[in-house]
Structures are given as structure tokens and as C-alpha cells.
Chains A and B, each alone.
Chain A
Amino acid sequence: MTDSVFIRIFIAVLAVCLLATAAHAIYAIDAYQRCSIIYFIGEELW
């Protein structure tokens, strides 16, 4: 694979990963504001 093709694929993969992580973060922030804190604490790992 040529460098230019690799860079395009790399950027595409990176973009998908960043988008997925951002979506995960947005969901977590939204859910944290609404979640049951009893469940949140009960499921904590020690």
C-alpha cells in the first residue's frame, strides 16, 4: 500500500475511533445525570 493510501485509511480509522469514543463520552455524561445513584454505587468495583 502506498503512503498516501495508508494515510487516508489511517485517518479514516482514526476518525471512526474518535467518533465512537466521543459518542460513548456524550452518552456517559448524559446517563450520569439521570442514573440511579444507588445502582451506580452498588455496581462499583472494589
Chain B
Amino acid sequence: MKRLLLQIAMLAAVVLLFAGFNASIYVLLTRRLSNNFSDTSQAKMVDVASFLPFEEDSDLARIETEFALTGDLPVLDGAAALVPVYASIIDSVYPAGCVTYDGGVFSDDNYYGENFAPDSKMQYKNTVRGYKAIVDGDTDILFCAAPSAEQRAYAEEQGVELVYVPIGLEAFVFFVNRDNPVDDLTVDEIRAIYAGDIRNWKSVGGENRVINPVTRLEGSGSQSMMNAFMGETPIGTKSPLALFGGAIGFSFRYYLDDMVDNAGVKMLSVNDVYPSRDNIRARTYPIVAQFFAIYRADNKNENIPRLIEWILSEEGQALIEACGYTGLF
């Protein structure tokens, strides 16, 4: 009997050991990995259905203007964070009925689950697929941050010259969990963290905890911006154990603060300057980036320069501001 109890205890110990290990990994890591294909993560990404032009209940900025496009209407596409901008532009100057939204269904070919009809003047492919679409001629104007080296190279390989017109300003921001006691980092500290030279929050005035510098999908607008921010300094490799450390991430202010608006994170000041719109406009925040309207130089659609001229006008810049971004002027 004693021998049987010992054997059962050994089996139970093995099961409990694995159960405890997996439960720990789940609490520390897995429960935070909301997959892009899940309903939770879908809600965390841009909900294009909330930004459809010509819908009364859309979350779009609206301004009064006499400018109106007719004829060959350019197809607009862009990054997730700029959906409100180009959707508001369509809403303001395009004729009603030019956007056909078929609803979001996830599939291998539709990573973000956002379907527009092929003849719709509004499309949504986000940055990586959007750059390919503008080079391939599937889109007329792409609203995005600066391209990655690979995206520039793809355009060159295809023999396509792209024109990049800055249309607004945006802060590139760094964020941490709201309970992380660190509120400010210097530019040099951030570079050192991502280079792997600073690996513990204690080194920058925080708690004694490993830093997990999180990066994003290569080719995305924010990762391209991060690569530019790092300059000649390569992003270092991190220990697998950093996954369980205190994380730091990066994004664009509008996407983080206005679109996702997750109360669990906070933006950091950089060099003691908070990324507020006033500080972006005054350029006192040290990492201010432009975002662009991008089109093919050989695109003959006469409405493209007309539309971009309007976007750079007082009315167009007011619309950029009304969308939550910072205008150029």
C-alpha cells in the first residue's frame, strides 16, 4: 500500500510540476499574447468600420470646403494609424458612393480582415502591403510614414519612382506599462537599451528588473522609423529571459494615444519633453517625424496633384489637425 501511494505521489508530482511551470508561463507571458487573428486583438487594431466615409456615425473629422474632386478619383490607401486621415479626406472632397465596404472577414489573403470592393476609392492594406500596392500600381496615393530600406529597394527594382509629399507631423513615442516607475528617458538611453548596452531598468532610475526592448514587424512604419532613429547603431539581440522582463515599446503618438488608447500603458517623456501636440508643433519633442502622401511619379491622374495641393492648403491642414495629428504649418 505504501509503495502504491509513493508511486501515485510521484505521478502527481510530475503532473503538478508541469502544470505549475505552464501556469507560470501563461500568467507571465501567454495571456498577454493577444493574436492579431483573435477578436481581442482585432479590436485593438484599427477598426476600419468606425472610419467609413459618408456614414453619419463614423469617427471622422469633417470640415466645410468648396473643393470637390470629380472625374478620375484617386484610390487612397495607407497605414492603420492614418486611416482616419485619408478616410476624412475622402469624406470631405470625394463624391458620395465611391467607397464600398464589404465588411471584415479574416483570411490568409486579408490579414487585417478589412474588405473593400475592388472599385472602392478607399482601400486598407496597411504599411507593408500598401507600399507594394503603390509600386505595383494598385493604389494611387498611399498615406504612410517614411519607407523602409527594403520598400525603397522594391520600388527601385521595379523601376518605379515614388514621390513623397510631407503632409503632417507626428511624434515617434516610447511607452511602458503604466506601473513601471520610469517616466522619462533620454535619446541616448533609449538607443543604449535597444542596442543592448543597458539591460536593466535600475540603470535608468527604475526597479531592478530586466528590460525587454520590444520591436515590431520589419517593414512596418514604426519599425522603419525605429531603424532610422537608431541610425548606425544596430538593434542588439536580447536574452530569451528578457521576455519576462519589463517591456518598452514604440509607436506613433496618434496610434497609441488616440486610436488604441490602452489604459495599461503610458508614453514616456524623452529628454524631459512629453509628446503632446503642443510640443510636437513646437518641435521641442526630440523625435518628430513627417508622414507622407506617396504616389508614383509616372501616374498621370490629374486629380493627384490637385488633391495633394488641397491637403497642403489651409483647409487640408485644418483637417489633418481635426483628425488629431499636427499640421505642417
Contacts and interface: CB of A to CB of B under 8 A. Distances in A.
B243 A13 contact: no
A41 B173 CA distance: 14
B262 to A, nearest CB: 4
Given A13-B11, A17-B15, A36-B34, A41 B21 contact: no
B36 A35 contact: yes
Contacts of A10: 10-11, 14
B14 A14 contact: yes
Determine the interface band of chain A, counting residues with CB < 8 A from chain B: 20 to 34
B250 to A, nearest CB: 9
Given A10-B10, A38-B251, A20 B33 contact: no
Interface residues of B, number: 49
B256 to A, nearest CB: 6
Given A24-B26, A38-B262, A44-B179, 9 more contacts: A24-B22, A31-B34, A35-B36, A35-B41, A37-B214, A38-B44, A38-B265, A45-B27, A46-B246
Interface of B: 3-4, 7, 10-11, 14-15, 17-18, 21-22, 25-37, 40-41, 44-45, 175-180, 207, 214, 216, 243, 246-249, 251, 256, 260, 262-265
